Amino acid sequence: MNTDTATIFLKILYFAQLEEERGCFEETIEYPFPASPLEVYQHLREQHQLQLSPKELRVAINDCFSSWETPLKSHDTLAFLPPVAGG
């Protein structure tokens, strides 16, 4: 990352299909500040060829469902949750 740009550190949690596609449950990333969950997910989707669009997911910040436009701060935990079926 460019050292002239402020960055934040984020813990990313992938659930269900996203965990399978990414090949891991969690990772920590550094991302330019300011940022929203939508910007972060679009970056990760492109970088890791994730199949689901944001319209198909829910997002949580620090264990609370949130808007895709919520401003993020360093050390937030983002969880991307696809719809799941249970029985």
Residues ≥6 apart with Cβ < 8 Å to 33: 5, 6, 7, 8, 72, 74
Q: What angle do CA 19, 25, 29 make, to 5 degrees?
A: 110
**The tokens 């991307």 sit on which residue?**
80
Which element (helix H / strand E) includes 80?
A: strand 77-81
Which pTM value belongs to this model? 0.90
What local confidence, expressed as pLDDT, does residue 1 receive? 47
Task: Give the tens place of pLDDT for each residue, 20-63.
Answer: 999 999 999 999 999 999 999 999 999 999 999 999 999 999 99
Kindly list the structural domains of the chain, giving each domain's residue range(s) and its CATH number in brackets, ordered by start.
7-81 (3.10.20.30)
